[in-house]
Amino acid sequence: MKPILLSWQFWALASAAFAALTAIFAKIGVENVGSDFATFIRTIVILAVLAAILAVTRQFQALSSISGRSYTFLILSGMATGGSWICYFRALKLGDAARVAPIDKLSVVLVAIFGVIFLGEHLSLPNWAGVALIAAGAVLVAYKG
């Protein structure tokens, strides 16, 4: 049996828990702060934490060891992350965390669709049913009725 720390499921659930805390902490944090400035502070904290992790675990790599293709897609990923964070913090500034977060999680639906279109991944009928349920669930949770 695989140790739990080597399981993608463990790390995915940990990610979900941290994402949930992000929404709660950010909603409180943007109360009297501009959303873009709040995103800037969050980014500085992330940079510092990641630098410490890389230093402690000795995972720094020579920049020359990374291919141009990897750089291109990591830069695009960073730009998409920045765009996501800016939009997310603005949404939190304007709306309830319990409604903003589910709509943000429609990214799960988009990842499934984009994975099929751009990465050639294949989803079965039950997988597509799950994607549809996630979409419906996000809309229902965000609905203010």
**How far is 18 from 112, CA to CA, in rounded Å?**
21
Q: Which helix (H) or strand (E) holds 44?
A: helix 35-57
Locus of tokens 């400035």: 37
Give domain limits for the chain. Answer: 7-96, 105-145
Round to the nearest angstrom and report the end-to-end CA distance of the chain. 47
**pTM, entire model:** 0.82
**pLDDT at 2 exceeding the cut of 80:** no
Query: Please, are residues 35 and 90 in contact by the beta-carbon 8 Å criterion?
Result: yes
50: left (phi over 0), alpha (psi -120 to 50) or beta: alpha
35: number of Cβ within 10 Å: 20
Q: Which residue has the higher pLDDT, 4 or 119?
A: 119
16: number of Cβ within 10 Å: 11
**pLDDT at 14 exceeding the cut of 70:** yes
User: For 19-72, how does the pLDDT look when each residue is reduced to its tens digit (9 = 90+)?
Assistant: 999 999 999 999 999 999 999 999 999 999 999 999 999 999 999 999 999 999
**pLDDT at 109 exceeding the cut of 70:** yes
User: Minimal CA–CA distance to 123: which of 144, 141, 101, 108?
Assistant: 108
Mean pLDDT of 128-141: 96
89: number of Cβ within 10 Å: 24
Q: Mapping DSSP to helix (H, G, I), strand (E, B) and coil, where does residue 75 land?
A: helix
Q: Which helix (H) or strand (E) holds 10?
A: helix 8-29
pLDDT at residue 1, as a whole number: 64
